[in-house]
């Protein structure tokens, strides 16, 4: 079995407040294979972006990585790297496509100068002519003309800016690309073109991608596996087919039921209750105040992650009980 390109083990990211620690990511476990496209989906505040920033060690005070391990390529513990080692790891081995392309580029510096500075800072070899040629190749790879290199960001459309950000992210051929809602604020036609470009480049590089977002439809079209986050926890992980055809966690079921369908007419279902407050989280299962399948002990007992026969996982007391019953039955027949 090939070793994973990225592995998160019991990752915990806390933000200190006057009311105590806010657990933005709480015990996240994730394994990413080479060339895999993995989606992180959930409501705003569920911990998706926090998890991505933790992988890059870009959590700022009052936030802190409180525990766990982040292993790159099976042998590099990211949390044990020095600041300089981590700086060089960014872009060269793990790169990020930011959520707000509109604000990610310096408006008073030409595109080529920003790209050259970024690559030089992270150790790209070659003379000025070679680097400039590399810039033009990168722009061409994302569908932009060479003359874009001489333009300022304010002269570009939103889609063009996002393509420049993608070109920057792949400039050092990273093993892992983190894409944090890369199509936000773009119209649907441009969204599709951006995601097609990202898929083509990802497959060419053989890189793994973690796509962060809340658009279940976009996830269904792009990723291989999907992780659903709620309250800083991964409540369900499985292949796209498994999760869309047979969602296990009640939260996942409600997310999928909110997707418009052209095949049949139905009433839209919203998720009942108010979004979770991590300042004052409920006891027991974090989703129980909003869950349509809530049981009496959901308010006092924390669910344990259950792994099904296919390898998919779910964090729900519905399956804890079923799993225990199955173990008892298997034991009695042994």
Asked if 178 contacts 96 with a C-beta cutoff of 8 angstroms, the reply is yes
Asked if the structure places residue 1 within a domain, the reply is: no
Residue 239 counted as domain residue: yes
Instruction: State the CATH number of the domain containing residue 96.
Output: 3.40.50.300
pLDDT score at 184: 79
Looking at residue 101, its pLDDT comes to 67
The pLDDT value recorded for residue 332 is: 45
Tokens representing 161?
A: 């800016």
Domain that holds residue 161: 6-333
pLDDT on residue 206: 94
pLDDT of the chain along its 334 residues, tens only?
A: 578 999 999 999 999 998 889 999 999 999 999 999 999 999 888 999 999 999 999 999 999 999 999 999 988 999 999 999 999 999 999 999 987 766 789 989 999 999 999 999 888 888 888 999 999 999 999 999 999 999 999 999 989 999 999 999 999 999 999 999 888 778 888 888 999 999 999 999 999 999 999 888 889 999 999 999 999 999 999 999 999 999 999 999 998 887 776 676 666 667 888 888 888 999 999 999 999 999 999 999 999 999 998 889 999 999 876 555 554 455 544 3
User: In this structure, is residue 296 part of a structural domain?
Assistant: yes
Pairwise CA distance, residues 94 & 101, whole Å? 18
pLDDT of residue 333: 41
- Is the CB of residue 170 less than 8 Å from the CB of residue 197? no
Residue-wise over 276-312: b if at least 16 C-beta within 10 A, else e? bebeeeeebbbbbbbbeebeeebeeeebebbeeeeeb
pLDDT for position 268: 66
CA atoms of 255 and 269, how far apart (whole Å): 9
Q: Round to whole Å and give the CA distance between 54 and 120.
A: 24
CB atoms within 10 A of CB 173: 13
Q: How many domains does the chain have?
A: 1
Angle at 46 between CA 44 and CA 48, to 5 degrees: 90
Examine residue 283 and state whether it is found in any structural domain, yes or no.
Answer: yes
What's this model's pTM, rounded to 2 decimal places? 0.91
Range list of β-strands (E), 131-207: 176-180
């Amino acid at each position: 079995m090939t070793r994973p390109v990225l592995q998160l083990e019991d990752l915990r990211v806390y933000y200190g407040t006057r009311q105590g620690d806010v657990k933005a990511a709480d015990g996240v476990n994730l394994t990413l294979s080479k060339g895999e496209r993995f989606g992180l989906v959930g409501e705003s505040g569920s911990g998706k972006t926090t998890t991505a920033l933790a992988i890059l060690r870009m959590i700022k005070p009052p936030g802190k990585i409180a525990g766990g391990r982040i292993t790159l390529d099976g042998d590099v513990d990211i949390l044990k790297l020095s600041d300089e080692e981590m700086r060089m790891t960014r872009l060269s081995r793990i790169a990020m496509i930011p959520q707000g392309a509109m604000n990610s580029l310096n408006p008073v510096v030409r595109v080529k100068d920003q790209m050259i500075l970024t690559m030089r800072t992270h150790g790209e070899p070659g003379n000025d002519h070679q680097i400039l040629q590399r810039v033009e190749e990168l722009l061409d790879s994302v569908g932009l003309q060479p003359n874009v290199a001489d333009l300022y960001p304010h002269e570009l459309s939103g889609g063009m800016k996002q393509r420049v950000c993608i070109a920057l992210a792949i400039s050092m051929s990273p093993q892992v690309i983190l894409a944090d809602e890369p199509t936000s604020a773009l119209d649907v036609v441009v969204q599709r073109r951006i995601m097609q470009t990202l898929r083509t480049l990802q497959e060419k590089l053989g890189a793994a991608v973690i796509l962060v977002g809340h658009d279940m439809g976009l996830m269904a079209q792009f990723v291989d596996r999907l992780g659903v986050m709620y309250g800083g926890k991964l409540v369900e992980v499985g292949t796209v087919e498994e999760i869309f055809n047979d969602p296990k966690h009640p939260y996942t079921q409600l997310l999928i039921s909110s997707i418009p369908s052209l095949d049949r007419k139905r009433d839209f279902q919203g998720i009942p209750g108010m979004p979770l407050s991590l300042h004052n989280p409920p006891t027991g299962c974090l989703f129980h105040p909003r869950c349509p399948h809530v049981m009496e002990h959901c308010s006092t007992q924390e669910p344990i992650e259950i792994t099904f026969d296919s390898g998919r996982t779910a964090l729900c007391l519905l399956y804890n009980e079923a799993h225990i019953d199955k173990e008892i039955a298997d034991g009695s027949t042994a």
